[in-house]
Structure 1
Amino acid sequence: MAENGEAQQQPQVKMNILGQFIRDMSFENVMAQKGTGGDVQPDVSVQVNLDAKKRSAENQYEVVTKLTVESKNKEGGEVLFVLELEYVGVFNIAGVPEDQLHPFLLIECPRMTFPFLRRIVSDVTRDGGFPPLNLDNIDFVAIYRNELARRQTEAAAAAPTQ
């Protein structure tokens, strides 16, 4: 019975998406500008950066997913298009312990907004004259772990040696 009492004392995690929007977006159709045509074999690279910050209202956080998508022709390496997108989700989060808040913001929140981000990328690439680009699922846990490892490496390199 003691286990039930302890479980009931743990706070209930609550997360609501209060809003989401495109903060900044740029799509450059390099292929059309250069007048390149013919058969192309696209090679697409996707870079993802995440950022989160507390808002002035209690329990509100802003999580930004920054996406850079570049498509190049496999044969000559010419750039076909570049898409840069900052997509923001505003969240109300309660019941997450302080020591777990940072990973929660940078893993769970982007997972919630990703389907909307994927649709925008698909629509923009289609409207830009290319086949719609349907992004594969993004492993936000791996991105978070890689960023932690990068920061630890930087901190170790910056630490004075004795």
Structure 2
Amino acid sequence: MTDTTAAPEGAQDDNAAAQSGIRIMAQFIRDFSFESPLAPDSLRSGTAQPAIDMGVEMNARGRTDGLFEVDLKLSARATRDDQPVFHVEVVYGGLFHIAGVAEAALEEVLLIECPRFLFPFARRVIADITSEGGFPPFLIDPIDFGGVYAARKAQAESVVIGNA
């Protein structure tokens, strides 16, 4: 009989899983802009709903300390009758520690999974500032970052093939 107890079956797998994954080390607003050039006239409710033009960009870069910086850029431009109502743009960043991810999957983790973590916070910033600007809060619908990534990758590949 020994004084030590054996680790439960699967404990090593749990340890390995605890070492892998995505950790957010910090979140921050890197850049932010809100414009309502025709206020207060643009605040009056017109009969027409404004047309909204949305933009989404994701960027990532490695750092010398082994962490990764990921930026999620969201922009929304609202117009009514060809007149600007508001324009908001936020670059919301995160500092991530990523472990246990295969090199082949790292780009997808950085440009799909990390923006999914950042999105609710960037969405809240936009909702808050549009509300403070005198408009109803602009709540951005959930974004399919996998679809955005796939579309951008396909577009980049078609440019490379087109230039060949």
1:121 aligned to which of 113, 121, 126: 126
2:21 aligned to which of 14, 24, 44: 14
Matched length: 149
Q: Give the match for residue 51 of structure 1.
A: 59
Whole-angstrom distance in 2 between the partners of 1:133 and 1:140: 19
Whose Rg is larger? 2
Q: Which amino acid aligns with 2:124?
A: R
Whole-angstrom distance in 2 between the partners of 1:17 and 1:38: 40
Whole-angstrom distance in 2 between the partners of 1:100 and 1:21: 25
Whole-angstrom distance in 1 between the partners of 2:75 and 2:126: 10
Please give the TM-score of this superposition, normalised by the length of structure 2: 0.84
2:76 aligned to which of 69, 75, 89: 69
Please give the TM-score of this superposition, normalised by the length of structure 1: 0.85
Task: Specify the SS of the correspondent of 1:66.
Answer: strand
Residues 32-43 of structure 1: pairs in structure 2 closer than 5 A: 32=39, 35-36=41-42, 37-39=44-46, 40-43=48-51
CA RMSD of aligned residues (A): 2.0
Whole-angstrom distance in 2 between the partners of 1:30 and 1:153: 38
Deviations 1:99-130 (A, max 9, x none): 00001110000001111111101001001111
Unpaired runs of 5+ residues, structure 2, are: 1-9
Q: Give the match for residue 89 of structure 1.
A: 94
Q: CA deviation at 1:31?
A: 2.6
Moved over 2 A (4+): 35-38
Whole-angstrom distance in 1 between the partners of 2:134 and 2:50: 13
Native 8 Å contact 2:35 2:87 kept in 1: yes
Q: Give the match for residue 31 of structure 1.
A: 38
Q: CA deviation at 1:38?
A: 4.9
Task: Specify the SS of the correspondent of 2:39.
Answer: helix
Task: Specify the SS of the correspondent of 1:52.
Answer: strand
* Identity, % of aligned positions: 39
